[in-house]
Structure 1
Amino acid sequence: MLDRNEGTQGAPVPGLYNLRSTGNWKAAGGIIAPGRLYRSDSPARLDAAGAAALGALGIDLIIDLRSIEEVESASYEFPGIRRTGIPVELLNPTAALTTERTLGDLYASFIDRCGPMIITALRTIAGHDQGAVLVHCTAGKDRTGIVVALALLAVGTPRAEVVRDYAATHANLSGAWTKIILDSLLIDAASLPSNVVEIVNGSPAPILEALLDRLDLEHGGAAGYLLSHGFDDDDLNALRARLVTTTAATSKGTS
């Protein structure tokens, strides 16, 4: 199990519940370099100490995948850290608590509708050649989870590692984070149907496995999906150059 703030090199960020770094996992031609790509829940609630902790990790670019409505309701700005918004609405927040759709339905729709946004996010990661990048949405599990999974799979990280990283999110969100979110909406968790609870904080490995099976069947894998939506060989090479190293790096946010 990957715990909250694992991989942050001894510098946890107060106020984040689902923060972790990719790094030191196998990849084609080497390993994923630590300290280059992070993922988390929304940092909009961070105070000055939390923002400073992000900077201490070497993070100087944030890719925000929240919808326009989500950003308007909880905006942020941190000194020395640039935010790039790539708005994606997975499910309208107003409808989220009453929907009959499943998490698997939402993922299938995301893959079908949001190829251009995924490509933009991965190109942004690949093109950032100095500090570290943080990718987030609201929970850091669905939009963030799929974007990070596709980035890692495209550069040769074993599927089992990618699925394990995705599945770790539920333990990070199922306690205090879920209470904060539901309390803010005046919602009792016990009143929610099981499909909605899963949408709020679930990250079951079989859900991502099913999505990846579909990508394998229809596109020959994650890289094939990206290529079919406008990524090219130069983009893949740039992503590999950004994320993969032949030796374990120790410095934060640097090559």
Structure 2
Amino acid sequence: MTSTTLDRNEGTQGAPVPGLYNLRSTGNWNATGGIIAPGRLYRSDSPARLDAAGTAALGALGIDLIIDLRSTEEVESASYEFPGIQRTGIPVELLNPTAVLTTEQTLAALYESFIDRYGPMIITALRTIARHEQGAVLVHCTAGKDRTGIVVALALLAVGTPRAEVVRDYAATHANLRGTWTKTILESLLIDATSLPNNVMEIVNGSPAHIFEALLNCLDVKHGGVAGYLRSHDFNDDDLKALRTRLVTTTSEGTS
């Protein structure tokens, strides 16, 4: 399968890895005390289908650690191993794959449930990013949309990336997934897209900005914001300092 990642990710640091549809770097965005350093943190859909060319392109980005947020069932159905790249699994089940096509839940409700249930896993992912001293980290789930989107967003918000930039990055995902990625996924399940109710289709490939704004508003109400949420799950000052050291550089360093 071929990728149009560069075209679809225009403006979001898209990277040319054949076989990935939702890959991008988080680099060159504003943060407290500088900018997010390019080439340190990537996000994507699952790389399990990468061929030799895609694998080589992934390695060429300097990625030597992958954080895999897929559930145990998802990993068992589509495993992978890349030479020279460590995989750390942090299993999270947003919604059982067998239930997603008939669920009456909304994407907004799933997100609120996710942050309520999986705080410890989110913290583990953030600490793994923060403590990886060399090379780049890739965070992914299946679509690189929900679990990945929330973990990466919380990392960026924690180090001071403006909310509007983080929401814009989240919303960019829909353009990457619609079309070939969605068609491939639904065909593998023998599902006709026209038969799916709107709430299910949004869960499959949607990333509306207002949904993520609602999640952040929920964090504001329940925890006093992202910082309060992370503290409530024992993400301490040392953790935050390590995350800043890992992700943030000065503007002059980031553009040299």
- TM-score calculated relative to the size of structure 2: 0.94
Structure 1 unaligned segments of length 5 or more: list them: none
Q: Secondary structure at the match of 1:95?
A: coil
Q: Which residue of 2 aligns with 1:3?
A: 8
Question: Which sits farther off after the overlay, 242-251 or 142-151?
Answer: 242-251
Kindly indicate whether residue 161 of structure 2 is the aligned counterpart of residue 157 of structure 1. Answer: yes
Question: Which sits farther off after the overlay, 144-153 or 223-232?
Answer: 223-232
* Residue 4 (structure 1) shift: 3.0
Q: Secondary structure at the match of 2:46?
A: coil
Kindly indicate whether residue 185 of structure 2 is the aligned counterpart of residue 176 of structure 1. Answer: no
Contact 1:32–1:244 under 8 Å retained in 2? yes
Residue type of the alignment partner of 2:23: L
Contact 2:35–2:249 under 8 Å retained in 1? yes
Kindly indicate whether residue 94 of structure 2 is the aligned counterpart of residue 90 of structure 1. Answer: yes
Pick aligned residue for 2:45 from 38, 41, 56: 41
Q: Which residue of 2 aligns with 1:232?
A: 236
Distance 2:253 2:171 in 1: 24
Residue type of the alignment partner of 1:24: N
Q: Which residue of 2 aligns with 1:137?
A: 141
Contact 2:92–2:118 under 8 Å retained in 1? yes
Q: Percent identity, please.
A: 83
Q: Which has the higher contact order (CA 8 A, sep 6+)?
A: 1
Contact 1:38–1:133 under 8 Å retained in 2? yes
Query: What is the RMSD of the two structures over their aligned residues, measured on CA atoms?
Result: 1.5
* Residue 216 (structure 1) shift: 1.4
Contact 2:35–2:254 under 8 Å retained in 1? no
Pick aligned residue for 1:211 from 205, 210, 215: 215
* Residue 3 (structure 1) shift: 3.1
Query: What CA deviation, in whole Å up to 9, does each residue of 1:180-209 have, x standing for no partner?
Result: 000000000000000000000000000000
Kindly indicate whether residue 78 of structure 2 is the aligned counterpart of residue 74 of structure 1. Answer: yes
Question: Which sits farther off after the overlay, 241-250 or 178-187?
Answer: 241-250
Structure 2 unaligned segments of length 5 or more: list them: 1-6
Equivalent residues in 2 for 1:103-142, closer than 5 Å? 103-142=107-146
Query: What CA deviation, in whole Å up to 9, does each residue of 1:11-56 have, x standing for no partner?
Result: 5000000000001111000000000000000000001110110110
Residue type of the alignment partner of 1:159: R
Residue type of the alignment partner of 2:94: L
Distance 1:216 1:113 in 2: 17
Contact 1:32–1:245 under 8 Å retained in 2? yes
| Structure 1 segments of 4+ aligned residues over 6 angstroms from their partners | none
Q: Which residue of 2 aligns with 1:58?
A: 62
- TM-score calculated relative to the size of structure 1: 0.95
Distance 1:63 1:38 in 2: 10
Distance 1:221 1:35 in 2: 27
Distance 1:123 1:188 in 2: 40
* Residue 248 (structure 1) shift: 4.2
Aligned residues: 249
Q: Secondary structure at the match of 1:149?
A: helix
Contact 2:167–2:209 under 8 Å retained in 1? yes
